[in-house]
Amino acid sequence: MSYHFVTGDFTPQKVFLPDKEYGLALDALVKGCADVLLTRGEGASLRILLGKRKVEPQPDWWFVGGRTRPGDTPAEGAARNVKRELGLAIETRRFVHVNTYSFVWNYRQQAPTTNGTADASTVFELPLTQAEADGLGPSKFDEKEYADAAWVGPLDILEGDYHPALQQAVRDLLAQRAYRDLRNVSGGPPAAVARCARRFVAWKEAAPLRACKVRFVDGSYQFVGTDGARVPRPTKASPSLARPPLFALRDVAFYASIAAVAFVAGRRSK
């Protein structure tokens, strides 16, 4: 869940910055962004829509999203970005907060390009209906900014050569979904609660790192150590994508035993 606090009667100002002034702003400020993992399906059928950008600061597979405006709630910024990028008008209540991340980039689109830029990104999941998802593909993306788009499985992202920030967002998305299952079974059979809790903890602890530096060279990510030398990509085994059954045979036996005890106690009280 993301939080938004307003103090006083804030009025957003509509200001357009020419390229030179916008470049100076990027040198001085951290941009607030709202990025989105659009999803379809559940469990092993879960797919995530990625766009392959061809402009800086991230000319590779990435979220749908972008900058927010002063006064936006994070979800309002996410909804505006999805509407701008894909033409989908989605209510803000459907955006599920995943996490917040810090991005620092060597390059940017605005001159001087090598000054780079920095973002604070609030990432959301947007689960789509089948009809909404069926209408999305490469043709929906602006060809000036995107070279391609694809529905990709989460394990393909986690085990592939994708940006580590995107991979971590996918882990956090799966942890969020595991928490949803745990919440739904709360108060149910202890074995079912334990299964969902183990899965939630496994995804929460699946991150191989909390901070890193990479270079994007010839279409591939190279991890860099504190001494500037290249190091292997950190790895950690991913938990199973399969959702645990919320109710299993042992849970039926648990409730049957409770019912039997109640029945016997009722007979004895007569």
pLDDT tens readout for residues 185-214: 998 999 999 999 999 999 999 999 889 999
The continuous run of DSSP H or E covering 266 comes out as: helix 249-268
What is the model's pLDDT at position 236? 84
What is the model's pLDDT at position 244? 67
The residue extents of the domains of the chain are 1-152, 154-270
In 10 A of CB 207, how many CB atoms?
A: 15
What is the model's pLDDT at position 160? 96
* Rounded-to-integer distance, Cα 115 and Cα 250, Å: 60
* Rounded-to-integer distance, Cα 221 and Cα 231, Å: 11
pLDDT along the chain (270 residues), means of 10: 93 93 96 98 95 97 96 97 97 97 96 97 98 94 96 96 97 96 92 92 91 95 95 88 61 51 53
Rounded to two decimals, what is the model's pTM? 0.88
What is the model's pLDDT at position 138? 95
What is the model's pLDDT at position 270? 56
What is the model's pLDDT at position 168? 97
3-state SS, one letter per residue, for 34-47: EEEEEEECCHHHCE
Which residues on neighbouring strands pair with residue 117, listed in sequence order? 105
What is the model's pLDDT at position 249? 43
What is the model's pLDDT at position 240? 81
Which regions of the chain does DSSP assign to beta strands (E)?
31-40, 47-53, 61-62, 64-67, 96-105, 117-127, 146-152, 213-217, 220-224, 230-231
Read off the tokens for 57: 């600061």
> Given 3.50.40.10, 3.30.450.20, 3.90.79.10, 3.30.420.40, which CATH number is that of 1-152?
3.90.79.10
What is the model's pLDDT at position 235? 86
